[in-house]
Amino acid sequence: MKALITGASSGIGKSMCYYLASKNIDLILVARSKDELEKIKSEVSVNTEIINMDLQVQDNLFKLYDLCKDKDIDILINNAGFGLFGLFQETDLFRELEMIDLNIKAYHILTKLFLRDFIKKDSGYILNVASSAGFMAGPRLSTYYATKNYVLKLTMAINEELKKEHSNVVVSALCPGPVNTNFNKVAHGEFSIKEASPDYVAKYGIDKLFKKKMLIIPTLRIKLGIFLLRITPYRLQLHFSYYIQGKKLGIKHE
């Protein structure tokens, strides 16, 4: 088997590289950090190709597909993305547009292009790394939450379409809570609750993908939190989220 992983140079994506390699799955790694990709390549024993590419650039998404469409890929993992903390009126507009390009456009385009190929051969796996943020709105992290809502709902809809067509192609969404990665550094905030390890989330996500699970939610705490959302009024959800994001930014509430 062969897997294509975006955002492969750090965090969950990097951990997925090592876990897939431990299962003797060949790798195509995509990220902007060539040095980190080279390091991963040197440390795994499977056939590994690296592609140094910025997926915020739309044309690069089609270039990536053209580079990989004949490489007999079995697994696509859309993992590249970032967040940005702050009040909506204060966060940088152009940085947010870059986030939308990476968190939404890249997922949408790559999922559609590779899904068409997988459907033709009636096999293949697509794992879209969403977030528990995809189940609610996120004041002070509003655009990021909105992008993850898009990814989650799109993935669920595609999964149902494939099910109705009796397809053997699997499309799943990985929805972790806080994970110990460099997300905080990029987003300029700090998580206020305990973080899961990227190694745990990567292993859990891939194992559940192979078991054809549509929604993959690591850790009991996050599963419980998502369940409670279903019975919590929206206004209370928003108040709670506003408070939690404020703690990440070091804001004290009276």
Domains and CATH numbers, the chain: 2-248 (3.40.50.720)
203 labelled catalytic: no
pLDDT band at residue 26 under the 50/70/90 scheme: very high
Do the Cβ atoms of 180 and 197 come closer than 8 Å?
A: yes
Residue range 245-250: mean pLDDT, rounded: 65
- Please report, rounded to a whole number, the percentage of residues in the chain having pLDDT higher than 70: 91
| 164 CB-contact burial (10 Å; exposed 0-12 / middle 13-18 / buried 19+) | exposed
Q: Which of 125, 144, 145, 204 is catalytic?
A: 144
Predicted confidence (pLDDT) at residue 244 exceeds the cutoff of 90: no
* 212-231 tens-digit pLDDT: 999 999 988 888 988 888 88
Integer-rounded Cα Rg, in Å, for the chain is 18
Predicted confidence (pLDDT) at residue 118 exceeds the cutoff of 80: yes
pLDDT of residue 128: 99
* 151-190 tens-digit pLDDT: 999 999 999 999 999 999 999 999 999 887 655 454 444 5
Closest of 65, 83, 91 to residue 187, by C-alpha: 83
Predicted confidence (pLDDT) at residue 204 exceeds the cutoff of 60: yes
Q: CA 80, 206, 67 angle in degrees (round to 5)?
A: 50
Q: Which of 14, 125, 148, 208 is catalytic?
A: 148
Do the Cβ atoms of 51 and 27 come closer than 8 Å?
A: no
* 31-70 tens-digit pLDDT: 999 999 999 999 999 999 999 999 999 999 999 999 999 9
pLDDT of residue 88: 95
Q: Which residue has the higher pLDDT, 192 or 126?
A: 126
163 labelled catalytic: no
pTM: 0.89
* 105-116 tens-digit pLDDT: 999 999 999 999
